[in-house]
C-alpha cells in the first residue's frame, strides 16, 4: 500500500470571520492511499490542529486495511488505536472511498445508489466582519441564490437588516453558539420578520436546557452544528432542534456521515451537510452525500484563492458532481 501525507497552505480570497475568530489562511493536510486522496481540515474548536493531524496520520494509516472493500474494518481499527482525531480520520476515510470507487471505476454517488441530479443548492457563506465589508461580500456573491450569514456581533440584527435591504435572496443564519437563550429568542423573532429560513447553533452546545426552551418558543427552525458531531449525539438532540449539520471533519468521514443521515431521519430531523474551510477534495466528498440531505453549505473551496484540486462545481449555487471514478477529484493543472 502506497501512502503519502502532505500539508498545503491555502490562502483565502478574503479574511473569513466567525464568532470565534478570523482567519486569512488554512493549512490542510492531504493523504494519499494508493490511488485515493483525502483532506483533513482540522479545527482547534474540536481539539485538532495541523500538528496533531500530521502526528496521528502515520499512526492511523497503519490501521488501514489493504483490502479496498474493508472500510468498516479500517474505521474500527483506527478507533481502537485512537479516539477522536476526526479530521485526520476523515482524510483517510475519503481516500479509502476514493480508492474503492477508482478500483470499481464508478463515482461514489453510484456506489451508494444515489441520483446525482438530486444534489442540493449550496449556500454561499458571508463571514463575520464590519457591516460595510459584509455588504460588499453580499454584492460579490451575485451568482449564489442562498446566503448563509455568520452572526454573533453585538450589532448583528442591524447588520442583517442592512443585508436584507440590498438582497431578496434566501438567507440562513449561523450564530456559532454565542447567544443567550433570551437574546436568541428576541433576535430569531426579528430575523423571522426579515425572511430568514432557519438559524444554526444559536447558543453553546452545553446549554441543553436553553436549547430546549428556545426550541419550544422560537418561530424559526433550529439546526444544530457544534452540538452534533457523530450519530450517537443525535437521539439526545430531539426536542432541542429541527435538524443537524453534518461535517466530515466532525464525524470522521463519509462512513459515519452516512450513519448520521440515517440516524437523523429515524428521529424525524432535517439534515444539512456543511464543511470547514476545505478545498475541492473534502467538499466534493461531502457533496456526494447531498442527494440524501435537505440543505448544503459546501462553498469552502470557493473561499480559497487557489484551490489545488478540482471536483464539484456550483452552477448558480446548484452542486454539480463530477462523474469521474471515486471522488472524481483531480489536481488543478
Ligand atoms: Mg455552523
CATH number at residue 289: 3.20.20.120
Over residues 185-194, mean pLDDT: 98
Residue 300 CA to ligand 1 center (angstroms) comes to 12
Tell me the residue range of the domain where 184 lies.
110-331
Give, in order, the Cα–Cα distances in Å from 88 to each of 94, 212, 215: 10, 33, 34
For the chain, what is the mean pLDDT? 97
Over residues 170-195, mean pLDDT: 97
Q: Is the pLDDT of residue 14 over 90?
A: no
Same domain for 248 and 99:
no
Integer-rounded Cα radius of gyration of the chain: 19
56, 72, 105 - which closes a domain:
105
Same domain for 35 and 127:
no
Query: Under a CB-based contact definition with an 8 Å cutoff, are residues 63 and 76 in contact?
Result: no
105, 127, 156 - which closes a domain:
105
Residue 52 CA to ligand 1 center (angstroms) comes to 23
Between β-strands 196-200 and 222-224, what pairing exists: parallel, antiparallel or unpaired? Answer: parallel
Residue 247 phi/psi, 5-degree rounding, is -130, 135
Residue 241 CA to ligand 1 center (angstroms) comes to 14
pLDDT at 219: 95
Cα–Cα dist 173/156, whole Å = 10
Percent of the chain with pLDDT over 70: 100
Encode 198-218: b = buried (16+ Cβ within 10 Å), e = exposed.
bbbbbbbbebeebbebbbeeb
Residue 62 CA to ligand 1 center (angstroms) comes to 32
Same domain for 61 and 134:
no
Q: Is 221 helix (H, G, I), strand (E, B) or coil?
A: coil
Over residues 41-62, mean pLDDT: 97
Query: Under a CB-based contact definition with an 8 Å cutoff, are residues 46 and 249 in contact?
Result: yes
Same domain for 283 and 134:
yes
Q: Is the pLDDT of residue 15 over 90?
A: no
pLDDT tens digits along 312-329: 999 999 999 999 999 999
Query: Under a CB-based contact definition with an 8 Å cutoff, are residues 201 and 226 in contact?
Result: yes
Q: Is the pLDDT of residue 18 over 90?
A: no
Q: Is the pLDDT of residue 2 over 90?
A: yes
pLDDT at 93: 98
Same domain for 136 and 248:
yes
Q: Is the pLDDT of residue 206 over 90?
A: yes
DSSP 167: -
Query: Under a CB-based contact definition with an 8 Å cutoff, are residues 159 and 151 in contact?
Result: yes
For 229, the grid coordinates are 458531531
Query: Measured in whole angstroms, how far is the alpha carbon of residue 298 from the centre of its chain?
Result: 6
Which range, of 16-25, 34-43, 47-56, 308-317, averages the lowest pLDDT? Answer: 16-25
Over residues 157-168, mean pLDDT: 98
Percent of the chain with pLDDT over 90: 96
Q: In what order do the strands lie in the sheet with 21-33?
A: 3-18, 21-33, 36-40
Same domain for 258 and 137:
yes
Domain count, the chain: 2
Same domain for 83 and 197:
no
Residue 42 CA to ligand 1 center (angstroms) comes to 15
In a 13 Å sphere around the CA of 34, the CA atoms on its Cβ side amount to: 15
Question: What one-character-per-residue DSSP string does 11-42 give?
Answer: EEEEEEEETTEEEEEEEEEEEEETTEEEEE--
pLDDT at 331: 97
Q: Is the pLDDT of residue 17 over 90?
A: no
Q: Is the pLDDT of residue 22 over 90?
A: no
CATH, residue 88: 3.30.390.10
Q: Is the pLDDT of residue 145 over 90?
A: yes
Listed in sequence order, the residues at least 6 apart from 232 whose beta carbon sits closer than 8 Å to its beta carbon are none
Q: Is the pLDDT of residue 16 over 90?
A: no
Same domain for 59 and 182:
no
Residue 201 CA to ligand 1 center (angstroms) comes to 7
Residue 323 CA to ligand 1 center (angstroms) comes to 29
Cα–Cα dist 64/48, whole Å = 21
105, 125, 160 - which closes a domain:
105
pLDDT at 326: 98
Same domain for 167 and 279:
yes
Same domain for 144 and 24:
no
Give, in order, the Cα–Cα distances in Å from 285 to each of 202, 279, 288: 27, 10, 6
Cα–Cα dist 320/333, whole Å = 20
Same domain for 122 and 93:
no
Same domain for 145 and 80:
no
Q: Is the pLDDT of residue 97 over 90?
A: yes
Residue 224 CA to ligand 1 center (angstroms) comes to 8
pLDDT at 141: 95
Cα–Cα dist 57/32, whole Å = 11
| Helix boundaries (H) for 245-317 | 248-251, 254-266, 280-287
pLDDT at 99: 98
Residue 41 CA to ligand 1 center (angstroms) comes to 15
pLDDT at 299: 95
For 113, the grid coordinates are 445508489
Residue 266 CA to ligand 1 center (angstroms) comes to 22
Cα–Cα dist 81/303, whole Å = 34
Over residues 243-254, mean pLDDT: 98
Amino acid at each position: 500500500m502506497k501512502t503519502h501525507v502532505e500539508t498545503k497552505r491555502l490562502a483565502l480570497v478574503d479574511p473569513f470571520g466567525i464568532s470565534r475568530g478570523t482567519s486569512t489562511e488554512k493549512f490542510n493536510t492531504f493523504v494519499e492511499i494508493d490511488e485515493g486522496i483525502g483532506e483533513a481540515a482540522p479545527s482547534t474548536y474540536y481539539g485538532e490542529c495541523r500538528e496533531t493531524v500530521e502526528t496521528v496520520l502515520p499512526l492511523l494509516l497503519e490501521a488501514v486495511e489493504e483490502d479496498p472493500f474493508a472500510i468498516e474494518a479500517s474505521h474500527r481499527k483506527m478507533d481502537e488505536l485512537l479516539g477522536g482525531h476526526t479530521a485526520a480520520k476523515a482524510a483517510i476515510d475519503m481516500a479509502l472511498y476514493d480508492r474503492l470507487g477508482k478500483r470499481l471505476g464508478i463515482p461514489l454517488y453510484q456506489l451508494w445508489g444515489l441520483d446525482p441530479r438530486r444534489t442540493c443548492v449550496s449556500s454561499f457563506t458571508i463571514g463575520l466582519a464590519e457591516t460595510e465589508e459584509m455588504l460588499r461580500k453580499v454584492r460579490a456573491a451575485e451568482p449564489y441564490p442562498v446566503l448563509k450569514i455568520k452572526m454573533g456581533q453585538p450589532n448583528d440584527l442591524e447588520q442583517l437588516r442592512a443585508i436584507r435591504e440590498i438582497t431578496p435572496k434566501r438567507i440562513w443564519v449561523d450564530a456559532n453558539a454565542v447567544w443567550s437563550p433570551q437574546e436568541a429568542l428576541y433576535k430569531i423573532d426579528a430575523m423571522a420578520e426579515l425572511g430568514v429560513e432557519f438559524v444554526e447553533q444559536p447558543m453553546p452546545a452545553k446549554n441543553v436546557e436553553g436549547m430546549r426552551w428556545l426550541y419550544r418558543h422560537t418561530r424559526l427552525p433550529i439546526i444544530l452544528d457544534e452540538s452534533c458531531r457523530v450519530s450517537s449525539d443525535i437521539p439526545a438532540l430531539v426536542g432541542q432542534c429541527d435538524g443537524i449539520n453534518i461535517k466530515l471533519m466532525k464525524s470522521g468521514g463519509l462512513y459515519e456521515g452516512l450513519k448520521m443521515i440515517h440516524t437523523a431521519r429515524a428521529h424525524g430531523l432535517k439534515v444539512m451537510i456543511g464543511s470547514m474551510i476545505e478545498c475541492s477534495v473534502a467538499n466534493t466528498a461531502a457533496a456526494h452525500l447531498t442527494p440524501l440531505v435537505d440543505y448544503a453549505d459546501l462553498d469552502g473551496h470557493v473561499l480559497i484563492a487557489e484551490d489545488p484540486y478540482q471536483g464539484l462545481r456550483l452552477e448558480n449555487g446548484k452542486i454539480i458532481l463530477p462523474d469521474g471514478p471515486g471522488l472524481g477529484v483531480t489536481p488543478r493543472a
